[in-house]
Amino acid sequence: MLQILVHNDLFIACNKPAGLASQPDKTGDESLLDQVEKRCKRTVHLVNRLDRPVSGIVLFAKTKAVMTSFTGQFQDRNVEKVYLALVQNEPPAESGTLVHYLQKNQAKNISTVHTEEQPDSERAELEYKLIGKSDRYFLLEIRPISGKHHQIRAQLAAMGCPVKGDVKYGARRSNRDRSIHLHAWKLDIEHPMSGERISLEAPLPEESLWQAMKEKM
């Protein structure tokens, strides 16, 4: 079911469920973009994309001018993003900043992490903070400073804390529904017309572990 957070004349913000592609891909499965266009009965423009197994906030612009405004803010790092990640190992410190250099393998759809700059690598930086834990899992608040391919997934794995269910980056086992426990939780961006800051928040998935960890935040 399509979960809409904001819907007005300029843009739409949705809470994407894990397992749904943000836009059409080679599988031919219905995507979030397809669902939004069906609801609006018009063409819309995808502003930010989440990996298929990730849940959370996805923005769509209704006009090219709004699209230009939003994408410019992402490129200029005028957008504040906050993710939540459930990881299977305790981080080495309760908070910290991770800086790595990522090399993207297009054929395998994976990013390799390096501690020093490599040919064709891109600098990736994020801040993390431990905000909850259970007997087996640890809840991290993630603030990505850059926005690189699989950045959060790859950098947390390099720290020794792969995201639950993310076998591509070292998790012990996959989740039954092939999701991973990574959620695009909050997004702060300028309104494309007024310039005022907009603060969006996507509720956590109803899945039992997410809900259990919510009580520990």
CATH number assigned to the domain comprising residue 111: 3.30.2350.10
The closest of 95, 142, 101 to 123, measured between CA atoms, is: 101
Question: Alpha-carbon distance 186 to 199, whole Å?
Answer: 7
Check residue 22 and report its DSSP letter: S
pLDDT band at 64 (very low <50, low <70, confident <90, very high): very high
Contact between residue 141 and residue 156 where contact means Cβ atoms under 8 Å apart: no
Question: Alpha-carbon distance 16 to 140, whole Å?
Answer: 20
Three-class SS state of 214: helix
Residues facing residue 190 across a β-bridge: 197
Count the domains in the chain. 1
Quick: pLDDT tens for 158-210. Answer: 999 999 999 999 999 999 999 999 999 999 999 999 999 999 999 999 999 99
Compute the average pLDDT of residues 39-55. 96
pLDDT at 214 over 90: no
3-state helix, strand, coil in the chain (%, to 5): 20, 35, 45
Question: Alpha-carbon distance 192 to 213, whole Å?
Answer: 35
**Segments forming the whole domain that contains residue 108:** 4-214
pLDDT at 26 over 90: no
Mean pLDDT (the chain, rounded): 95
Residues facing residue 184 across a β-bridge: 56, 83
pLDDT at 1 over 90: no
The helix/strand count (H/E) of the chain reads as 4, 11
- Would you state the pLDDT for residue 136? 92
The pTM for the full model equals: 0.95
Question: Alpha-carbon distance 149 to 96, whole Å?
Answer: 21
pLDDT over 70 percentage in the chain: 100
